[in-house]
């Protein structure tokens, strides 16, 4: 049995009108994702990777082209496509518990049930002691854990992550990368992860989609067949690193 | 917050008031019967105004009735202002049509000071409590209105995106995201408004009214009782100060999620 792709992006174009004339942000982008796949979008700034992610999230509309999730056209933001922002986007007036229960509440799930859901995901991200803390009392890494739990608690099937660990220190970033991988492995989630760090992409992805600017377009796709957990010092890892680096050109990422 | 400026007012907060008091004392020390009374004379007059001592003069014990009259006008005017300013501010902030409809009118009226409105209010509403109360309402209106508008307008777009992504419908966006995120702004407006109410009430009570701290100060001026004038000023300052402490305590409780409002980091 071949299952239907979870996400299909076809012939996508995005043009912005600016003061200096029209800018072509994305040209003829196509991407098909199978269920459970972990895809990293990588490219230099201005390559349109974040724009593509935001269009898939439903926050922006394409100028041309088609996006379907599970066969249904994407017409706006929705719970099945959970977005994790680099700046977290947590509601500052809600505690950790309330932030995680926010999505279920918005979808009309009853108090008792959403309380159970919140408890489960608070335990999963290891923040039981901070369940009643407010976002401003948390570290960056803790906030991003809450942001991830929030979309999982809302039954997202596809997680869209926009450089989610870019604002964190190296140690925290490594922790969250491995937590994300074990979460992904145990849940069957599909993930699109935008990054400009080569090492991060190779560490995480099943498939790396390389994008280039001027206009933003997909220039290469690389399957990463290394077994997990991946050793960033191994020879095959380094070979891939050189390959992606060459594809990104001399000014490519800094991972 | 670790910044010392946000800590509880300690001994350092008393330095400037004590310094001013010392300056006052030093400047009047050799003129017990000068135009400006000495601090200890004002202190003893305050006790007399409060009815704690009994000099038997015309101002003995009148503080409380006047304070009550002023406070009731302050709170009534503040309430009227909040009842009008909050919904109007929310609508102006949220609905573009209402904003375009009212913005120029409000900006035109805003520079007109309450003192300029006072004669008109006396003609419109007559001599008495009502005019003073409405003058207070007008005085707090702009701080409440403008801060409410600002609060609504400064909702982070990211939070609206996050809510949309989590399944909040467009009509539910206002109660679920816009209103809570505007709360600090609304609260700042209410706090500034109440502070301003105590300024305006004295202006409002300075003509055409027989009760209130403003009226008491005007009576005292007629009789050249500068000690009562200054005692009344101190009473107004203290009343406004106590109100502000109470409002801040409420704010710390309601906005404990906000690092700007006394939430612990």
Each domain of chain B, given as residue ranges in start order, spans: 57-261
Closest Cα of chain A to B98: distance in Å?
Answer: 26
Closest Cα of chain B to A121: distance in Å?
Answer: 16
Residues B86/B148, Cβ–Cβ less than 8 Å: yes
The closest of A153, A159, A142 to A101, measured between CA atoms, is A153
Residues B209/B122, Cβ–Cβ less than 8 Å: no
B57-261 placed in CATH 1.10.3720.10? yes
Of B168, B172, B180, the CB nearest to A93: B180
Which residues of chain B make contact with A93, given a CB cutoff of 8 A?
Answer: 180-181, 183, 257-258
Which residues of chain A make contact with B258, given a CB cutoff of 8 A?
Answer: 92-93, 136
Is B71 an interface residue toward A (CB < 8 Å)? Answer: no
Which residues of chain B make contact with A57, given a CB cutoff of 8 A?
Answer: 165
pLDDT at residue B262 in the model? 58
Q: Do A107 and B183 touch (CB under 8 A)?
A: no
**Ranges assigned E (strand) in B24-100:** none
Query: Mean of the per-residue pLDDT values for chain B?
Result: 91
Q: How many CB atoms lie within 10 A of CB B219?
A: 18
pLDDT at residue A214 in the model? 87
Name the DSSP letter for residue B6: G
* Beta-carbon pairs below 8 A across chains A and B: 75
Q: Do B257 and A76 touch (CB under 8 A)?
A: no
- Rounded to an integer, the average pLDDT of A47-68 is 96
Q: Do A76 and B164 touch (CB under 8 A)?
A: yes
The 3-class SS string of A120-187 reads: HHHHHCCCHHHCCCCHHHCCHHHHHHHHHHHHHHCCCCEEEEECCCCCCCHHHHHHHHHHHHHHHHHH
C-alpha atoms less than 13 angstroms from C-alpha of B173 in its C-beta half-sphere? 16
pLDDT at residue B134 in the model? 94
Q: Do A106 and B257 touch (CB under 8 A)?
A: no
Residues A255/A193, Cβ–Cβ less than 8 Å: no
How confident is the model over A118-148, as pLDDT tens digits?
Answer: 999 999 999 999 999 999 999 999 999 999 9
pLDDT at residue A2 in the model? 58
How confident is the model over B26-78, as pLDDT tens digits?
Answer: 999 988 788 899 999 999 999 999 999 998 899 999 999 999 999 999 999 99
- Main-chain dihedrals φ then ψ at residue A65, nearest 5 degrees: 110, -175
pLDDT at residue A81 in the model? 97
How confident is the model over A220-252, as pLDDT tens digits?
Answer: 999 999 999 999 999 999 999 999 999 998 444
Peptide bond into A229 cis (omega under 30): yes
CATH number for region A1-80+157-255: 3.40.50.300
Is B158 an interface residue toward A (CB < 8 Å)? Answer: yes
CA distances from A49 to A40, A118, A163, A165 (A): 10, 32, 10, 16
Q: Do B162 and A81 touch (CB under 8 A)?
A: no
Interstrand relation of A190-195 and A38-43 (parallel, antiparallel or unpaired)? parallel
Instruction: State if pTM tops 0.90.
Output: no
Q: Is the dihedral of CA B130, B136, B138, B140 positive or negative?
A: negative
The closest of A140, A137, A37 to A92, measured between CA atoms, is A137
DSSP character string of A86-100: TT----TTS-HHHHH
Say yes or no to pLDDT of B263 above 60: no
Q: Which of A54, A89, A152 to mutate to test the interface with B (most CBs of B within 10 A)?
A: A89
Starting at the edge strand found earlier in the chain, the sheet holding A217-223 runs A81-84, A158-162, A190-195, A38-43, A207-212, A217-223
Hey, is A30 helix, strand or coil? Answer: strand
Query: Mean of the per-residue pLDDT values for chain A?
Result: 94
Q: Which of B6, B167, B251 to mutate to test the interface with A (most CBs of A within 10 A)?
A: B167
């Amino acid at each position: 049995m071949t299952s239907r792709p979870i996400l299909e992006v076809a012939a996508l174009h995005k043009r912005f009108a600016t003061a200096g004339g029209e800018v072509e942000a994305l040209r003829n982008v196509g991407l098909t994702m199978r269920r459970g796949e972990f895809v990293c979008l990588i490219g230099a700034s201005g390559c349109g990777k974040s724009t593509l992610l935001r269009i898939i999230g439903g926050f922006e509309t394409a100028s041309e082209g088609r996006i379907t999730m599970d066969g249904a056209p994407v017409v706006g933001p929705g719970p099945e496509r959970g977005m994790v922002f680099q700046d977290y986007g947590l509601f500052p007036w809600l505690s950790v518990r309330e932030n995680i229960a926010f999505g279920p509440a918005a979808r009309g799930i009853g108090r008792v049930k959403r309380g159970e859901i919140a408890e489960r995901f608070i335990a999963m991200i290891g923040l039981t002691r901070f369940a009643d803390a407010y976002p401003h009392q948390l570290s960056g890494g803790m906030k991003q854990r809450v942001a991830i739990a929030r979309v999982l608690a809302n039954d997202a099937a596809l997680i869209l992550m926009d450089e989610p660990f870019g604002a964190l220190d190296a140690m925290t970033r490594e922790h969250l990368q491995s937590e994300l991988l074990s979460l992904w492995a145990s849940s069957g989630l599909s993930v699109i992860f935008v990054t400009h760090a080569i090492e991060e992409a190779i560490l995480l992805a099943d498939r790396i989609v390389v994008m280039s600017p001027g206009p933003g377009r997909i220039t290469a796709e690389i399957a990463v067949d290394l077994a997990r957990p991946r050793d960033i010092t191994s020879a095959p890892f380094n070979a891939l690193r050189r390959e992606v680096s060459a594809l990104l050109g001399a000014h490519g990422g800094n991972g | 917050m670790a910044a010392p400026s946000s800590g509880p007012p300690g001994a350092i907060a008393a330095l400037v008031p004590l310094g001013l008091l010392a300056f006052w004392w030093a400047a009047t020390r050799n003129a017990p019967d000068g135009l400006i009374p000495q601090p200890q004379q004002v202190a003893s007059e305050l006790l007399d105004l409060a009815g704690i001592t009994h000099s038997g003069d015309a101002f003995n014990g009148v503080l409380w009735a006047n304070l009550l009259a002023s406070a009731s006008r302050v709170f009534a005017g503040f309430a009227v202002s909040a009842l009008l300013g909050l919904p109007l501010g929310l609508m102006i902030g949220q609905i573009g049509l209402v904003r375009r409809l009212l913005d120029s009118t409000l900006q035109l009226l805003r520079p007109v000071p309450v003192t300029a409105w006072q004669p008109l209010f006396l003609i419109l509403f007559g001599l008495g409590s009502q005019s003073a109360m409405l003058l207070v309402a007008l005085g707090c209106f702009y701080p409440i209105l403008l801060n409410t508008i600002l609060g609504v307008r400064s909702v982070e777009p990211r939070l609206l995106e996050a809510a949309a992504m989590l399944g909040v419908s467009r009509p539910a966006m206002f109660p679920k995201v816009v209103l809570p995120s505007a709360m600090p702004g609304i609260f700042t407006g209410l706090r500034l408004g109440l502070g301003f109410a105590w300024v305006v009430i004295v202006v409002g009570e300075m003509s055409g009214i027989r009760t209130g701290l403003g009226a008491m100060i005007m009576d005292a001026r007629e009789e050249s009782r500068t000690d009562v004038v200054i005692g009344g000023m101190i009473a107004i300052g203290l009343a406004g100060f106590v109100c502000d402490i109470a409002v801040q305590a409420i704010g710390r409780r309601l906005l404990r999620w906000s690092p700007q409002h006394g939430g612990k980091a």
